[in-house]
Structure 1
Amino acid sequence: MKKYAVIVAGGSGSRMGKPVPKQFLLLQGKSVLWYSLNTFLSAYDDCAIVLVVPAAYWEAAQAIAGSTIAPERVVIVVGGETRFHSVRNGLKLVEGESVVAVHDGVRCLASVGLVRRCFEEAMRMGSAIPVVDCKDSVRWVEGEGSKPLDRDRIKLVQTPQTFLSSILMGAFERVGEGAGFTDEATVVEAAGHPVHLVEGEVNNIKITLPADLVFAERVVLEMNL
């Protein structure tokens, strides 16, 4: 079965406070996005990458893709107005019966092991959504009040969210324009499919704030990535 990874790198990164989007910032001389691409290229020799980027950063994305271990397996497309539209643009390049992972380009610390676990579970169960336990106390806000929630029943959702192509692409065709969808799992559920949770990784953070970049820098150094 064919394998695809749609890597979404269309965000502006405004919360990072940098002049360029966070996916193009450097960690040990290589872009955040470079690490994400190489993880998937290393996981499987037959995994094709669809990289979704803002139109203004097309040339930068080409340069990054060209420096990876297998640039011939990376195709670049322009993102859309929202994440939903960007993923849908990427899915247009998926062909035939396949397994498709959708990954945040700024989750550059995901391991090869996590990628393989998600693909294997998606092939077995139809979907694989990586999650980690919630360590903090959690409260639900209602009006001007709030109430505690049982954190043992709360999971924090990560990517790569991985699906059989028939499930994922059918869901994107069925749900319309994607108002309110925050990830692919919510799209698939809205189309009537259950999702299967798998163990994620604590280090698999989404780089959003300057402190996240500092953490990622340290992990890259420690892991010699």
Structure 2
Amino acid sequence: MGEKKRHVAIVLAAGKGSRMKSDIPKQYLILNGKPVLYYALRAFEDSFVDEIVLVTGAGQETYCKQEIVKKYGFQKVTYVIEGGKERYDSVYRGLCVLDRADYVYIHDGARPFIDDALLLRAKQNVAQYRACAAGMPSKDTIKIIDEEGFVADTPQRKYTWTIQTPQVFEYSLIREAYEKMYRNMPEVQITDDAMVVETMLQAPVKLYEGSYNNIKITTPEDLVIAESFLNI
């Protein structure tokens, strides 16, 4: 029998949510009586995950500790820390506070609809492939455009996926990739964690099935859709 692996989630809640057109950051907006952020934390709290690191916006740590972590009794949240300027800065800060982890689940706090089945798929895939990301086959045809806005290429739809979170990695792999990225800045432009591993280490990232319901709350319309999911 091997030693039990330690699974840790880094939940990102440092976004400002400018597209939401609200003074309240999107992760704190009320969805069916609870903050959007509550639902992601609850999913990890009730799962096999051992520990949760919550990364907040500047000056929001006390609010999160009192009004979310304490209020809703999240026992697995061991750190509530301030995020950085960019998303990748927030992820890196989360990685750096971990005392011990084998696998890290990096998740957007504004994606409330992860569930145990999705997390189990993530667990199985990261154990086999070391790096994986949730996603779903694109429902629409994707066009690649040039700088003038004209179509440059049309990839076959069966090869196009929309990417979600959690993105999950062996801790040593993602930490090494981030360390290398910071050594090579500002030459790199990163849009997600999988890209850090792909670009810095040339390591393959396996896509696993997320859910079409695993939306990110970004605009007012998304909040309406989310309400409808909860009321089905």
Normalising TM by the smaller chain, what interval? over 0.9
SS at match of 2:64: helix
- After TM superposition, the score normalised by the length of structure 1 is 0.93
Distance 1:35 1:97, change over 3 A: closer
| Inter-partner Cα distance in structure 2 for 1:21 and 1:157 | 22
Asked if structure 2 preserves the Cα contact closer than 8 Å seen for 1:132 and 1:156, the reply is yes
Identical aligned residues as a percent: 33
Residue 189 of structure 1 corresponds to 198
Partner of 1:163: 169
Give the RMSD, CA atoms, in angstroms: 1.5
Give how far 1:100 is off.
Answer: 0.4
**In 2, Cα distance between equivalents of 1:68 and 1:113:** 23
Alignment of 1:28-39 (within 5 A): 28-39=32-43
Q: Could you report, residue by residue, the CA deviation over 1:108-155 in whole angstroms, capped at 9, with x for unpaired residues?
A: 111121112112211222122111011112211124321433222111
Query: Paired residues, what number?
Result: 221
Q: Which runs of 5+ in 2 are unaligned?
A: none
5+ residue gaps, structure 1, are: none
In 2, distance between residues paired with 1:57 and 1:29? 20
Change in 2 beyond 3 A, CA 1:20/1:39: same
Distance 1:200 1:22 in 2: 22
Which one of the candidate residues 9, 18, 26 is aligned to 2:30? 26
Aligned-pair distance for 1:97?
4.5
**2:20 aligns to what?**
16
Q: Does 1:204 align with 2:214?
A: yes
Matches for 1:171-186 after TM superposition, within 5 Å: 171-176=177-182, 177=185, 179-186=188-195
Taking the aligned partners of 2:144 and 2:125, their CA distance within structure 1 comes to: 32
Which region of structure 1 is more displaced relative to structure 2, 81-90 or 70-79? 70-79
Map Cα deviations across residues 153-197 of structure 1 (whole Å, 9 max, x no partner): 111111000011011111111111474111110001112211111
TM-score (norm 2): 0.90
Q: How far apart in 2 are the matches of 1:91 and 1:48?
A: 12
Q: Is the 8 A contact 1:47 1:73 kept in 2?
A: no
Displacement of 1:34 after TM fit? 0.5
Bigger shift: 59-68 or 108-117? 59-68
